[in-house]
């Protein structure tokens, strides 16, 4: 059986005075069948990469939204409008840190999802 472009062949068989290759699962692959195999593999890889990009974009968009929620929570906790923020000290206690994390995540998520397949 041919595996990823590797070909095997049976020994030639003499049929009615003509030399032919035996028919069966082990045939010589022609240039055309190799090309079709590679094209099918390429199409599968492109499709898989599109869905991986869409998944990465979805995760990035969710993470950026979470970062913006933390930024809003930090601001409202500083103004005493909400309960205490989980990080009361350190770099994670500032709303600007969360915005600085959320903005690049959102930009990356947008770039990943703008060319991904969409459902109708």
pTM for this predicted structure: 0.60
| pLDDT 10s digits, 24-48 | 554 455 555 666 788 888 888 888 8
Return the domain boundaries, the chain: 57-120
Question: What average pLDDT does this structure show over 7-18?
Answer: 50
CB 78 within 8 A of CB 33: no
Q: Give CA–CA dist 21/11, Å, rounded.
A: 7
The packing angle between helices 95-113 and 31-78, to 10°, is 160
Chain centre to alpha carbon of residue 71:
29
The DSSP code for 21 is: E
**Cα–Cα distance measured from residue 112 to residue 99, given in angstroms and rounded to the nearest whole number:** 20
Task: Tell me which residue of 58, 36, 38 sits closest to 114, measured CA to CA.
Answer: 58
Residue 8, both tokens: 């095997």
Phi, psi of 119 (to 5 degrees): -85, 145
Q: For the segment 44-94, what is each residue's pLDDT rounded down to a tens digit?
A: 888 888 888 889 999 999 999 999 999 999 999 888 898 888 888 888 888
């Amino acid at each position: 059986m041919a595996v990823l472009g590797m070909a095997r062949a049976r020994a030639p068989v003499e049929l009615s005075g003509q030399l032919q290759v035996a028919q069966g699962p082990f045939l010589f692959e022609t240039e055309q069948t190799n090309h079709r195999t590679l094209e099918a593999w390429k199409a599968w890889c492109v499709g898989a990469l599109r869905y991986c990009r869409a998944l990465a974009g979805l995760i990035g968009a969710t993470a950026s939204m979470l970062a913006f929620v933390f930024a809003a929570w930090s601001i409202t906790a500083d103004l005493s409008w909400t309960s205490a923020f989980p990080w009361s000290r350190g770099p994670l206690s500032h709303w600007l840190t969360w915005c600085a994390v959320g903005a690049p995540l959102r930009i990356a998520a947008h770039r990943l999802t703008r060319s991904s397949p969409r459902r109708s």
